[in-house]
Amino acid sequence: MAKETIKTMHERDISAERTRSRAVGIIAKAFCYAFLIFMALVVLFPFYWMINSSLKSLEEYRQSVPTFWPQKVLWSNYAEAFTAASLGRLFFNTAYVGIVSTILSLVITILSAFAFARLEFKGKNLLFSALLATMMIPGELFTITNYSTVTNLGWMNTYTVLIVPFLVSVFYIYLLRQNFLQIPNELYLAAKVDGTSDFKYLCKVMIPLSLPTLISITILKMMGAWNSYIWPRLVANDDAHRLITNGLRNAFTDTTGDVNYPVQMAAVALVSAPLFLVFIFLRKYIMKGVSRSGIKG
Amino acid sequence: MVEGKQKWKAWLYLAPAIVLLLVFTVWPIINTVRMAFLEGYSGLKVAGGESFAFGVGNFVKVIKYQKFLSCLKNTVLLCVLTVPISSLLALLVAVFLNSIKWLQKPLQTIFFLPYVTNSIAIGMVFAAMFNIVGSFYGTDNEIIVTAGIINNIIEFFGGKAVNWINYGSSYAANITVMVIYIVWNALPFKILILLGGLQSINKQYYDAAKVDGTSRRRIFARITVPLLSPMLAYVVITGFIGGFKEYTSIIGIFGEAMGPADAAGRLNTMVGFIYDALSTNNQGRASAAALILFGIILVVTLINLQVSKKRVHY
């Protein structure tokens, strides 16, 4: 009798404990989702506000009670922004600099990563460590002298000045070398036995096997061209060579006061759009590249 | 390894990289240090045939310069405020994201979005959100057409509109806007790294804790945080390094004036100071400031590493 009571009491305790922990679990889950959705809204809000504002008429934007979707959708703001900031020219300049510097940078990175990963020469490790050490130094330190160097070379206000100084990235060399090292040495030796030249082996075996890393590098490099601001402003801020970020800032110098925000926001949306398109299609590569790099652009 | 011929061939492969590195990386290191120690070095004066005495005058001048102290204060303040806030928020988001299944992927994508933006462009959006449209000089007879969406929201919840970035706005309000923007901008990278770290933690630890009936809070404090500590340290260290180089986010919101209309330059940072000196041809001062910045970053990173050595469990 007593035994049975204890048993049922024990079962009751267990089931009570279960419902309690289930309730706690549900509350925790609900809190979890509430927090995440709140944060997601905070993250998304500026994008929403950008698009919402870019489609309003100036009168509607200036209403003291804001509207959360334009009463009349005004696409003409985009056309106006495109001409006001001469975005066509800026897009072309940025795409040109981005594509050329990415291609050249990939060639240089592949060649040197191959040398560091597969070839033997005196002082290899010393040279590689020295390169890695330069990564600690803030870029501003280089910029000061590079500014004088490119002035002396007569490169001011050319495409060259936007491309050449940043072709070598020690970080990309490091990233690709690590990838090359993962390719088994036996493959290389087998190719040697077959009489394949180093260069052919690099093109036929190593590059195809490292494609994901190369894509990540390409995207980061293109994003860099799209987002660079400081260097282009110093050395190529003329109408013919200006890049997109500088153009955007120059076209809309006023941030406070009575600004024509609908047009400004349309310009911002146009400048942001290519990055989002790239992100949508190549999300995996971007996130992989970023998680290994820790740099913006 | 295979044949001796490779020795010169390796240098052939390296040649383009080495030439460019010599010109744009090695020479700048040497030259910037040299210019920093030449008193009052200036590109214009060099062209005029002037020579400069060797000394630490540039450093002394920079440190005594009122503008530099204000830049240093802004940089340190933004760093000290944004790194802990963004790291903590990112940790919470990552832990919560890791504990859910439904909606995990879409939310993860949303949280990464601020990363693929142009910090100047989105800075302009933030400026639009905080701006009081119609306020130029903060006088009474101005017709304020709209207080801006952030003030609208504050007023909706019964608060009072704040002059965030317009003429006559307070330093504290400016810094608040900057902190919000920088944190918003810094979150995606931190979340990505921390979530990656969480997903690589062995599930067995959690199963063992469950068997022992360990509470959620204890699991978080005794399993999650210690096993995540290398990633946390990484996120904090890179956060500080990036924070000391803060510049473009301020340009995004305040434009090249680096401050509200009545106090231009009030929010300038160390990097801004270097570029101002450079664009006025004061290379000596710019170099000295850059070396000071490098020194600060180095010291802060070493302190961070020292602290994490004691706290981080590998």
The per-residue pLDDT for A256 is 61
Distance CA A144, CA B16 (A): 23
The residue behind tokens 């010109």 is: B23
Would you state the CATH architecture of domain A76-293?
Orthogonal Bundle (1.10)
Give the tens place of pLDDT for each residue, B204-250.
888 888 888 888 888 888 888 888 988 899 899 999 999 999 999 99
Does B117 sit within 8 Å of A249, measured CB to CB? no
Decide: B165 and B177 in contact? Cβ < 8 Å.
yes
Average pLDDT of every residue of chain B: 88
With contact defined as beta carbons under 8 Å apart, do A115 and A128 qualify?
no
- Name residue B38's beta-bridge partners: B54
Q: What pLDDT shows up at residue A51?
A: 94
Query: How large is the average pLDDT for residues B156-167?
Result: 88
Span B96-126, pLDDT tens digits: 999 888 899 999 999 999 988 888 999 999 9
B156 backbone dihedrals φ, ψ, rounded to 5° = -60, -40
What are the structure tokens assigned to A226, written together?
A: 């799209």
The DSSP secondary-structure symbol of A258 reads S
C-alpha span between A174 and A167 (Å, rounded): 14
Burial annotation A208-222 (CB, 10 A radius, 16+ → b, else e): eebeebbbbbbbbbb
Distance of alpha carbon A166 from alpha carbon A267, whole angstroms:
28
Structure tokens at A88: 């066509």
Supply the Cα-derived Rg of chain B in whole angstroms.
25
CB B136 within 8 Å of CB B264: no
Cβ atoms of A150 and A156 within 8 Å: the answer is yes
B275/A234 CB distance under 8 A: yes
Band (pLDDT 50/70/90 cuts) for residue B1 is very low
Lowest average pLDDT, out of A83-87, A271-275, B136-140, B299-303, goes to: B136-140
Are A201 and A188 contacting, i.e. CB atoms less than 8 angstroms apart? yes
- The count of CB pairs under 8 A between chains A and B is 286
The Cα B243–Cα A68 span in angstroms is: 34
List the one residue out of B237, B218, B256 whose CA is nearest residue B301. B237
Give me the torsion for CA of A103, A107, A108, A110, rounded to 10°: 130
User: Where residue B314 falls among pLDDT bands split at 50, 70, 90?
Assistant: low
Residues in CB range of B133: below 8 A, 6 or more apart: A61, A62, A257, A258, A259, A261, B144, B145, B146, B147, B148
Kindly provide the ipTM of the predicted complex, given to two decimals. Answer: 0.88
The Cα B78–Cα B183 span in angstroms is: 10
Cβ(A289)–Cβ(B114) below 8 Å: no
pLDDT at B140: 59
Distant-in-sequence, close-in-space partners of A121: CB < 8 Å, separation ≥ 6: A115, B6, B7, B10, B11
With beta carbons less than 8 A apart as the criterion, state whether A130 and B29 touch.
no
pLDDT confidence band for B201 (50 / 70 / 90): confident
Among A49, A120, A291, beta carbon nearest to B193: A291
Residue B133 phi/psi, 5-degree rounding, is -70, 125
Is the pLDDT at B193 greater than 80, yes or no? yes
Please state the three-class secondary structure of A38-61 as a single string: HHHHHHHHHHHHHHHHHCCCHHHH
* Phi and psi angles of residue A271, each rounded to the nearest 5 degrees, phi first: -70, -35
Rounded to an integer, what distance in angstroms lies between the CA atom of residue B124 and that of residue A162? 24
pTM, two decimal places: 0.89
Instruction: Check the CA dihedral B111-B117-B120-B122 and report its sign.
Output: negative
| Cα dihedral A108/A110/A115/A119 (nearest 10) | -150
Residue B136 pLDDT greater than 70, yes or no: no
The segments of chain A whose pLDDT lies below 70 read 1-4, 254-258, 292-297
For tokens 């998680």, name the residue. Answer: A291
Q: Provide the chain A residues 152-191 that lie in CB contact (below 8 A) with chain B.
A: 164-168, 170, 173, 189
The candidate with the shortest Cα–Cα distance to A51, out of A278, A227, A267, is: A267
User: Cβ distance B215 to B118 under 8 Å?
Assistant: no
Burial class (CB in 10 A: 0-12, 13-18, 19+), A244: buried
- CATH assignment of the domain containing B71: 1.10.3720.10
pLDDT at B138: 58
Please list the alpha-helical segments (H only) found in chain A: 2-54, 58-61, 76-84, 87-118, 124-134, 139-152, 159-163, 170-181, 185-193, 198-201, 207-209, 211-227, 230-235, 244-251, 261-293
Give which of A252, A237, A217 is closest to B120, Cα–Cα.
A252
B99 domain residue, yes or no: yes
Instruction: Indicate yes or no: CB of B290 within 8 angstroms of CB of A140.
Output: yes
pLDDT of B139: 60
Least confident of A284-293, B187-196, B262-271: A284-293
A139-152 and B270-279 helices, crossing angle to 10°: 10
Q: Which amino acid is residue A104, in one-letter code?
A: L
Is there a domain that residue B24 lies in?
no
Compute the CA torsion angle B242, B247, B249, B253 (nearest 10 deg).
160
Q: Point out the least confidently predicted range of A18-22, B64-68, B185-189, B235-239.
A: A18-22
Q: Which domain holds residue B134?
A: 60-311
Overall average pLDDT of the B180-184 stretch: 96
User: Which residues of B, range 199-258, sit inside 8 Å of A by Cβ?
Assistant: 216, 234, 238, 242, 244-245, 247-248, 251, 253-256
Residue B42 lies in a domain: no
A199 min Cα distance to partner chain B (Å)? 10
Q: Looking at the 3D structure of chain B, how many domains does it have?
A: 1
The helix-helix angle for B283-311 and B27-36 (nearest 10°) equals 110
Encode pLDDT of B267-288 as tens digits: 999 999 999 999 888 899 999 9
Can you state the angle between helices A2-54 and A261-293, rounded to 10 degrees? 130
Sign of the CA dihedral with A197 first, then A199, A200, and A202 last: positive
Give burial (CB, 10 Å; 0-12/13-18/19+) of A50.
buried
- Distance (Å, whole) CA B161 – CA A282: 42
Question: So what's the pLDDT on residue A254?
Answer: 66
Q: Is the pLDDT of residue B3 over 60?
A: no
Beta bridge pairs of residue B146: B133
pLDDT at residue B216, rounded to an integer: 80
In terms of C-beta distances under 8 Å and separation of at least 24 residues, what long-range contacts does B51-58 make, across chains too? B52/B284, B58/B284, B58/B285, B58/B287, B58/B288
B133 touches chain A (CB under 8 A): yes
Chain A contact present for B44, CB below 8 A: no
Question: Cα-flanking dihedrals φ and ψ of residue B135, to 5°?
Answer: -90, 115
A 8-67 → B contacts, CB under 8 A: 28-29, 32-33, 35-37, 39-40, 42-44, 46-47, 49-50, 53, 61-66
Largest CA distance in chain A: 102
Per-residue pLDDT at B288? 95
pLDDT at B211: 87
User: How close, in Å, is residue A1 to chain B by CA atoms?
Assistant: 31
Calculate how close chain A gets to B175, using CA atoms only, in Å. 16
Which residues of A are less than 8 Å from B25 in CB distance? 134, 142, 168
